[in-house]
Structure 1
Amino acid sequence: MPGLYLAAILLSAVGIALIDRRFRLAAWHAPGRTAVSVGVGVAFFLAWDAVGIATGVFVKGDSPLLLGFDLAPHLPVEEPVFLAFLSYLALVAWAGARRVLDARSTRGADVPSRREDAP
């Protein structure tokens, strides 16, 4: 079923964007910085892919899930979309983890530890 892989990536990206929107973690908090970060991530990983393809480490396998269009030899059109998703997911996960840890450290400062309560 051609295009299923791309559809899965896009559906996953929509899910992450909804989480981002709900908690204002990345794109809804700082859209410019998020766009630049995702762009840098995609550029870095495309360069990484180019080196891997040139050295023969990365090869595109045959899959009925791919659209069948290549941007370059062994570089399917889905690859930059996946790399953008991966970069965006990393930003949202990092911002979410940071928010949880910040909330815990703030909450922990107000609550005395058990050792301090012991007689």
Structure 2
Amino acid sequence: MLYLAALLTSAACILLIDWRHSVFIFREPLRASVILVIGAVFFLLWDIAGIALGIFFQGTGPYMTGIMLGPELPLEELVFLLFLCHITMVLVLGSQRVLERRAKS
């Protein structure tokens, strides 16, 4: 449960940054939602392939919720993948904005 709480707290912090600077979700919500879903689905398919090939497996520990979305696929993985896609887009688009402003000055 602690891992999920840490992921959700981190995601909330990135959402606040996104909201404050209108970088991704708060700039174009529909487009951002589509991109997040596509990214998460891509990485979920990657995970499923890795699980099927015996490369990926669920680690055990007291910090997990124990909620499984599929064999060897914990709930925390989906939350992490959404967080990963969101933070990547905030970093890329935020960096692009900073570099464009520097180039203008």
Task: Determine if the TM-score, normalized by the shorter chain, exceeds 0.5.
Answer: yes
Taking only the aligned residue pairs, the percentage that are identical comes to: 45
Unaligned ranges ≥5, structure 1: 108-119
* 1:50 to partner: Cα distance: 0.4
Q: Does 1:32 align with 2:30?
A: yes
SS in 2 for 1:80: helix
Number of the residue aligned with 1:60: 58
**Which ranges of 4 or more aligned residues in structure 1 deviate by more than 6 Å?**
none
Partner of 2:103: 105
TM-score, length-scaled by structure 1: 0.86
Q: Which protein is bigger by CA-based radius of gyration?
A: 1
For residues 41-78 of structure 1, give each alpha carbon's deviation from its aligned partner in whole angstroms, at most 9, with x where no partner exists.
Answer: 00000000000000010011111110011111110011
| SS state at 1:71 partner | strand
How many Å apart are 1:94 and its aligned residue? 0.8
Q: In structure 2, how many angstroms separate the alpha carbons of the residues matched to 1:22 and 1:71? A: 33
Q: Tell me the C-alpha RMSD between the 2 structures.
A: 0.6
Secondary structure at the aligned position of 1:42 is classed as helix
Residue type of the partner of 2:63? Answer: L
Runs (5+) with no aligned partner, structure 2:
none
Q: In the comparison of the two structures, how many residue pairs are matched?
A: 105
